[in-house]
Structure 1
């Protein structure tokens, strides 16, 4: 009797409640979408008609191939750029390194489609750089649209993610290993390839997976800068939303194919990472040292050039937000007209963004703390299954989750479509893993004996958790919560599917203003969003006392 009572303690009940939440808002929508993909709305029978249609027409297969080409290219290019950058920052003393790391992080925290919009203003057919090169130097710039533009935008957006992962991993590499490699004749690139890369491979794969999934899910960038270079998220959106010829069953079938493809990549990454994992104890971690001569100059040039290039889109958007406009066209002179229009005409979207994001982040923090605790401290069949569920949002692109939620909760008994609730649920499901991951990581570093000692002195399990464990977890919780917050307020792929006139967010408003050609208001809203992001990161650094942000 005592064992049964112990087995069904408060943590088991909480685990069951969270498990039901995931069943209702993740498993059920995905299962409904799977059923919808096999259900023929015309005949009312189950069939493979939608899948046959997809694989029999080159148009649809080209979209899948385009997505694969983009995601693989972006992931490889981001890793090739980020790894040397992180190595230079970790081994060479760069002037203003703390500020540079924050700036690099800020460059990744805006919505990717804003980067696409910025590069159109800079390198589009009538872009500032394009006109300058043609009119002044007589040089015709290469086309920024299509695959090239998508690759440039997403790579610059994703490099900081791998940079943060690799920077964190390099702090756990012992300097003595590097010294031993040098004593054996390995220097420069050979030392990095033979010794350092194998040690950080699991971390590099983890960062690469995150980049791959985000590039695969991105909707706004190919829509704005693709110009006919159709990817799967764009195809799904078109099939689901289109009033003429749109078919939610076919959109569901494409979504199932994407989820299966993403799952295969995820499992492959896990398999390779497990085979390449190493255990290290960095008693003498790598430290940045002051260099002299050409090496020092080259290191500074590389870091400063990349940082400027990464920030250029956001800086130019902020600059254009202060330009005068005549209708929808920028003219000479400066004013705050774009900001006035932004607040007067669509000021409610700023309020919507904050209300939805705040609601989501409160739920995320609560769930993340509980999930991290039960999956780390209370491991059993239920919590192991819950741990697997929490990983699924990495695999499911935002537009697909949005479609799945709409299909599931569009009819009785639970009608959520068109409400703020369905958007909050989507944000929570999508961005919860960031806070879970950081909370669990710090919990692994807290010795369980501290809690056992408190319980042995008469404290209850819940009192021990709230008085002892939770305060020690706060740094990790805040770290993940800030990342979740920033990704929520810059979310587009889910919002564009779920929003209504009453729940429109800043990213949706920016996207629609860009599509309409109202660049002044779009720039003003983008600048406001960037400001919110910067403030969020500064608050995080202030609260944690850190000088940098690593994953």
Structure 2
């Protein structure tokens, strides 16, 4: 790979590219500098030509100039320093003292001398004042008869122009770095295509994950424009924040555990047993994730709150409270178990039943076969599901904001610090604390799974699945599913019923006005949301599968860092993601704030971990020899990915598409900071209606949102059909 000839070629072309790069950008800088200098001198001439002849008016003239030009400071010297006594006029003492300290400086001496002889003089050097860089103009003050009566000194703030210089430097360095990476990969790599894919993914997570996260971290160490540890000292020593941290951990563990159990119940029953109504149960299992995250909370309050329909009207309970850890765990479990279900369904479906058949043929009982074969092979999906629900629970703020009561969680504390108290640094620091438990769980899961083999797809998939449950167990599983589905229907029935009453909980009069008003007011928001989600969905799905393929099949430097960066956005509260994106992309070189692109990018980066986890878990079951055989027959990496990997990953790919679309449609926390007058979002409008107690309007839009997503689900199932070779049927009793 690294031959002497290749190295010489590389260095030669690098020298040529670097020389051309330096020459081009130096020419641009020189031209830009000349234009700036001419503009500064012209500005000085205009300003100093307006000075008043009356001494008593000079102070007000300086004040007017500095008020009209925020980047300019003025010192006026009445008289000529070399020939007569002078009087100085100024408003900013710091600039005047700087001027006095520089009188012996050769450049200042030349500037004053030039002004005395009726010439304008602009310094080539810049001077640091007031935490900014300034160029200085020395100008003659002339009467109408062109007599010199004084000297004007103008300090011109260059910070705005220096940003352009910095941007040019970034582009110049980026071009050289791009050449080194691209040409180096082409010249020295054995697999250029795969290395380009890895490089591209690194660039994506670097720009849209690491860079915004760096801006958030930097903010926590800044106090009044200077480096400080004050924010972190306060965060780590305040009981309120520490209590909220442990509150988040307890909520995350309880929610993740219950959600994984329920998700496994649905996934196992629907993929490994022969029951009727699978499509119905599957639809109900995904329903909670396709609605705004606070819809279930509102339903819980209306049914089980202090004045809830069930607790107050039906059961007449007096001291019952749904607020706190119990209520939050209930709501988050109902809202997040679809994450576990979608992650595990594809894994359970892909398990080759010949292994179970072999165990049964060796006289193992169905229970023992399940415990020793099926369950261990499901471990990647179970751990992935638990991790995703855990991180999602930590990052959730919409449900705790409404239902936490006196129970403190870190995401709400961070949200209130940012939006309620405008303490961005505190909010960022609190949110960053959530990364610690998330990354710990992520690394433990990765370390444990990497030590074991879960390969079950070998290129000869079984067309059927052997049923491992008895009739009694099957009835028990179905009964549990029915109870959960009935509970969900009651929650969503509350939302649907809210569409047809004037004000739920106060006035139950039937009306259709809510539908008309909500659709009129939400028309643009619905269109914007569907458009942006449709753009983000296929991009996120393909990126997720590519990332999963690289993580499972390839080893490269920085792989662990890459994995952490992929998972990080899912763990950080959406409020911080929104603020980080505003900090990072509201300035050069990428100005994206206010555009639809920043919302699409947020969708992709935020929901990418779900698709990646599903793809990784599925790929661990696929024998690499299938891909190696295709490569031995001459297929390149894109062909192998398109014809071998993607079809085998179809269940995980569909889950990724589905989840990305619904999460894009139902996003709240980050999007609320990124919407603009041109691009709005339906969930933000629903939240605003709910906050203003317009539950009827919120119910109509929430129901509309669910209908749209269900239609999209159906279309995706039709467009991305499952391969017939992977279809399995469940056989009956053995």
Is TM more than 0.5 here? yes
The correspondence for 1:496, drawn from 672, 688, 692, is 672
Corresponding residue for residue 219 of structure 1: 397
Corresponding residue for residue 154 of structure 1: 332
With 256-265 and 519-528 compared, the bigger mean Cα shift is at: 256-265
Offset, 1:465? 6.8
Q: Secondary structure at the match of 1:347?
A: helix
Corresponding residue for residue 627 of structure 2: 447
Within 5 Å, give how 1:354-503 maps onto structure 2: 354-365=530-541, 367-368=543-544, 371=547, 380-381=556-557, 386=562, 389-436=565-612, 441=618, 447-454=627-634, 464=639, 472=647, 475=650, 477-503=653-679
- Give the count of matched residue pairs: 532
Could you tell me how far apart the structure 1 residues matched to 2:559 and 2:241 are? 39
Q: Secondary structure at the match of 2:586?
A: coil
TM-score, normalising length: structure 2: 0.64
Corresponding residue for residue 509 of structure 2: 332
Could you tell me how far apart the structure 2 residues matched to 1:382 and 1:470 are? 24
TM-score, normalising length: structure 1: 0.84
Offset, 1:524? 0.5
Q: Assess if the C-alpha contact under 8 Å between 1:357 and 1:424 holds in 2.
A: yes
Could you tell me how far apart the structure 1 residues matched to 2:293 and 2:455 are? 35
Bigger Rg over Cα: 2
Corresponding residue for residue 480 of structure 2: 302
Offset, 1:60? 1.4
Q: Assess if the C-alpha contact under 8 Å between 2:366 and 2:468 holds in 1.
A: no
Q: Secondary structure at the match of 1:112?
A: coil
Higher strand proportion, which one? Answer: 2
Could you tell me how far apart the structure 2 residues matched to 1:545 and 1:156 are? 29
Corresponding residue for residue 122 of structure 1: 303
Corresponding residue for residue 24 of structure 1: 207
Could you tell me how far apart the structure 2 residues matched to 1:130 and 1:328 are? 13
> Aligned in 2, Cα 1:16/1:191: closer, same or farther, shift over 3 Å?
closer
Corresponding residue for residue 187 of structure 2: 5
Corresponding residue for residue 254 of structure 2: 73
Offset, 1:90? 5.2
Q: Assess if the C-alpha contact under 8 Å between 1:181 and 1:187 holds in 2.
A: no
Residue 232 (structure 1) aligned with residue 414 (structure 2): no
Corresponding residue for residue 135 of structure 2: none
Q: Assess if the C-alpha contact under 8 Å between 2:384 and 2:613 holds in 1.
A: no
Offset, 1:374? 5.7
Corresponding residue for residue 466 of structure 2: 287
Residue 353 (structure 1) aligned with residue 536 (structure 2): no
> Aligned in 2, Cα 1:465/1:284: closer, same or farther, shift over 3 Å?
closer
Could you tell me how far apart the structure 2 residues matched to 1:274 and 1:106 are? 33
Could you tell me how far apart the structure 2 residues matched to 1:203 and 1:100 are? 20
Could you tell me how far apart the structure 2 residues matched to 1:265 and 1:466 are? 30
Q: Assess if the C-alpha contact under 8 Å between 1:222 and 1:234 holds in 2.
A: yes
Q: Secondary structure at the match of 2:509?
A: strand
> Aligned in 2, Cα 1:140/1:467: closer, same or farther, shift over 3 Å?
closer
Could you tell me how far apart the structure 2 residues matched to 1:82 and 1:399 are? 28
- Cα displacement string for residues 153-180 of structure 1 (whole angstroms, at most 9, x for unaligned residues): 1111222332344444444263247637
Q: Secondary structure at the match of 1:95?
A: coil
- Cα displacement string for residues 457-504 of structure 1 (whole angstroms, at most 9, x for unaligned residues): xxx876x47985698578454442222111111111211233334433
Offset, 1:77? 2.1
Q: Secondary structure at the match of 1:403?
A: helix
Corresponding residue for residue 179 of structure 1: 360
Q: Assess if the C-alpha contact under 8 Å between 1:86 and 1:166 holds in 2.
A: yes
- Structure with the bigger RCO (C-alpha within 8 Å, sep 6+) is 1
Q: Assess if the C-alpha contact under 8 Å between 1:330 and 1:520 holds in 2.
A: no
Corresponding residue for residue 382 of structure 2: 204
> Aligned in 2, Cα 1:274/1:334: closer, same or farther, shift over 3 Å?
same
Offset, 1:425? 1.9
Could you tell me how far apart the structure 2 residues matched to 1:384 and 1:454 are? 31
> Aligned in 2, Cα 1:532/1:141: closer, same or farther, shift over 3 Å?
farther
Could you tell me how far apart the structure 1 residues matched to 2:274 and 2:645 are? 36
